[in-house]
Structure 1
Amino acid sequence: MVLSRWFASANKINIHKNALASKIKQDPYYRFQSDLEIEIGAQLGIKIDVNIASVDDWLRLPGISITQARSLVEITNSGINFLCLEDLAAALGVSVLKIQSWQPILYFAYYADDSFHAPAKVNPNNATLNQLIKIPNLSQDIAQQILIDRESNGKYRHIADLQKRLNLTPDFAYHLMNYFQFSN
C-alpha cells in the first residue's frame, strides 16, 4: 500500500517534469519560474552565455528585472566580461546565494576584444567616428553619414531603420547587424 502510493506520487512528479520539459523545449525564450525549471532547462542543454547574452536571454531567469537585464548587457557591451557567478552577483548588487540557482544554465566564457566569436558591439546612437571606422568594411564616408543622419533625424531604432535612412544594401545592413547594439 505504502509502496503503491510512493509510485503514484513519483509518477505524478515525472508527469509534471515531462510537461515542464515539453513547455520549455517549445519556447526558446521561456521564462523560468523556479529552480526546478532551471534544472530541467539545464538537462535539456539550455545555456545562457553571460558575456554575449541579450536582454531577452537575461529575462529568462527568475527574479531578474528588465533594468537589471539592460544593465548586464551594457556592461558586457562595454567590453567587461563576467568570469564567474560572483562577478555577476557584484554587477547586480546582490549576494551570490540569491542567484546561485541560475548556475546550471549560465555559461561563463571569456572573449578577448579581438575575439572572432564575439565582435565588439557599438551603439550607433552614441558612437564616435573613431568607433565606427573600426568596424570592418565600414568606410569613413558611411561612418560620417551615420553621425550626420543621427544628428539631423534622431536616434536609430534598429538596423532596418538605419538601413532605410542611409539607403544601405540589405547585405551591408546584415553585416553591420553583427557589430551594432541599438539602445538609447
Structure 2
Amino acid sequence: MARGHWLDPLARKVLQAVGELPPDPPNQGANPSPAPVKPSVPSWVIDVNRATAEHWRQLPGCSEEMIDLLLRLQRGGVQFSQADDLFQLLDLPAQKAEDWRPHLIFHWYGDAPPLPEATNLDLNGASAQELEQSLHWPEQRLTLFLKERIRRPFHNLADLQERLCLPPETVEQLLGKVRFGDRRPGPSLPPRH
C-alpha cells in the first residue's frame, strides 16, 4: 500500500500546483463520482432598469424598435421587477426569452416593486366598464384615456405613459397585466349619475 506524502494536504496541493510535487495518482479500484455540473455563468449581464442602448444590443435579436420602447419607458421612470414582464411587453418568443434570461438582472431602485397580479387586460379593446373596474383610475384619467384611445389606439406602455403623462408607479402597476392587441377603440365611458 502506497503511503501518502508526509506534508499536510494543503501544503501538498500548493506544491503540486507550482509543479514541485507530482499530482496524486488516481484512486484505483474506486468509482469516482462524476464532478457536479456547474451552471454556466454568463460573461456579461444587463441591469434591466439601467441598461443603455448598447447594453440591449448585446442581446441576440433585440431590435431597434425594442430598444426604443425600453429606453422610453426607462426615461419615464418605469422599472421592471421580473423577466416575464419584460418578455411579455416585448412579445418575445419562448426560445429568445430563454436565451436572454441568463443575461438579465433586475435591481430595483427606490421602494419595493409592486406585486404582480394575474390579469391580462386589453387596453385597446376593453369596455369602459372593464377599464374602470380593473384599473381603479380616477375619473379624469379614465376619461382622458378613452378620448386618447378614440383618437388613436395605444401602441405600447411607453405610448400610453407619454400620451397620458402617467407617473412611473402607475405604469409599473400595469406591467405584465395589460396588452395592446385590439387596435379598435372600445365604447366610451357612460355618464356618471
TM-score range, shorter chain: 0.3 to 0.5
Decide which structure has greater helix share.
1
Instruction: Calculate the TM-score normalised by the size of structure 2.
Output: 0.36
Structure index of larger Rg: 2
